[in-house]
Amino acid sequence: MSDKEHLPEWVGQRAKAAGPPDREVRFELAAKAMAQAILRNRPVEDGGSGCPVVVEGINDEKALRALGFTGTVERVNRGWDRPRLVAYLHREYGDTPAADGGPPLILLMDWDRTGGRLQTSLRDRMMALDVPVDEDLRRILLRAMKPEGRTVESLLPHSSLLGPIIQRILSEID
């Protein structure tokens, strides 16, 4: 029954939703998305867009730094309630568009249930204040890196594999 003709239709649809099964292909997809986010995150004086990445905690920030993010990283878990955090993000980044004309914030919450709820809550609150957010990185990492883990900090052990791919992509772009 290995022949694709005899498989039910949902098999192909499920594979599309789950992402590519080949680890090299998945890491390449993740590295491309991260390279684009790194470029958006870089300070304007370094040729980037100055777009901050919003993550859940300090370990998420450490993972991003290990992968090559050099710009501003804002943490959700800083002892503030959600309305205060949203007001801060709106005040600091909502009025000024990113240098590349894209959304002024990259939201990157974990791709587990709690992270999904937090992502939805922050996105909805920021968009209610007319501040668009970039969710492309999370969407791609959710599909590409799910077998390796469901959190941003779970990317840290893979930084030795992802780092060179990201640097290669960045050198091709620059």
Give pLDDT tens digits for 114-135.
999 999 999 999 999 999 999 9
Rounded Cα distance between 144 and 162, Å, is 12
pLDDT given at position 7: 45
Between 95 and 12, residue with greater pLDDT: 95
Cβ(30)–Cβ(50) below 8 Å: no
Average pLDDT of span 101-105: 91
Kindly tell me if the per-residue pLDDT of 6 is higher than 50: yes
Burial environment of residue 49 by CB neighbours within 10 A (0 to 12, 13 to 18, 19 or more): buried
Residue 144: partners with Cβ closer than 8 Å, 6 or more residues away? 19, 20, 26, 27, 29, 30, 33
Residue 161 has pLDDT above 70, yes or no: yes
pTM attached to this predicted model? 0.84
In the three-class reduction of DSSP (H, G, I as helix; E, B as strand; rest coil), residue 53 is classed as strand
In this prediction, residue 99 carries a pLDDT of: 81
pLDDT of residue 2: 44
Confidence of residue 97 (pLDDT cuts 50, 70, 90): confident
Task: Read off the pLDDT of residues 32-87 as tens digits, 9 standing for 90 and up.
Answer: 999 999 999 999 999 889 999 999 999 999 999 999 999 999 999 999 999 999 99
Per-residue confidence (pLDDT) for residue 159, from 0 to 100 = 93
Architecture per CATH, domain 23-173, reads as 3-Layer(aba) Sandwich (3.40)
One-letter amino acid of 27: F
pLDDT at 95 over 70: yes
Q: Report the 10 Å Cβ neighbour count for 63.
A: 20
How confident is the prediction for the chain on average, in pLDDT? 88
For the cut 80, the answer to whether the pLDDT of residue 93 exceeds it is yes
pLDDT of residue 1: 42
- Any alpha helices (H) in 6-156, and if so which ranges? 9-18, 23-41, 58-67, 82-89, 113-128, 136-144
